[in-house]
Homo-oligomer: A and B are copies of this chain.
């Protein structure tokens, strides 16, 4: 039985909802917005800044990839993005130490990559389902849904590469990858719970 589940997901794939369902089914603590709030408390950054910039660092900030791996948490002289990433990493490690949790996004799969007690999940979906989902959830915008999705994917890819050195969404980063548009939200949650219990 795994006590920590990380969920990485494509925007509009329903990964957040699946994470909530899994947490509910297992009686685990769910960290989505709450993770942002914890980081805000510790860092002093606003939740808005964390939400916007936390996932979308520019490709130029990247010094902490090596710093993070040696466990050094001195943040003076760092960019705001890098400082935020380090604090976020520490918060994620603290959450993991308590166990029985589902953590969505924020490179948690990478930060906790050496934790044995962890199940790493990636949720994806086809473009049509994702487009439908973001319009239902967040409404229409001037930019067409497909363009919004492509922009977000690209930003997540750059952020992830920058801080982890890995390619976002590549199977080998995860234990389990699920297409929510083919399997359905409920079935994805059930599969994660099954994998967690195996």
Task: State the A residues within 8 Å of B (CB).
Answer: 122, 124, 126, 169-172, 174-179, 182-184, 186-187, 190-191, 194-195, 198
Contacts and interface: CB of A to CB of B under 8 A. Distances in A.
Given A175-B182, A176-B176, 13 more contacts: A122-B171, A122-B177, A124-B171, A169-B171, A171-B177, A174-B177, A175-B178, A175-B179, A175-B183, A176-B177, A176-B178, A177-B177, A177-B178
Q: In the complex this chain forms, how many copies of it are found?
A: 2
Contacts of A169: 171
A171 B175 contact: no
A198 B187 contact: yes
Top 6 closest pairs, chain A to chain B, by CB? A187-B198, A177-B177, A175-B182, A175-B179, A171-B177, A124-B171
A183 B195 contact: yes
Given A191-B195, A194-B191, A194-B194, A176 B175 contact: no
Contacts of A195: 183, 187, 191
A172 B176 contact: no
A191 B190 CA distance: 10
A50 B29 CA distance: 52
Contacts of A182: 175
Contact of A176 (B126, B179, B184, B198): B179
A168 B114 CA distance: 27
A126 B171 CA distance: 11
13 contacts: A124-B172, A126-B172, A172-B179, A175-B178, A175-B183, A176-B176, A176-B177, A176-B178, A176-B179, A177-B177, A183-B198, A186-B198, A190-B194
A174 B183 contact: no
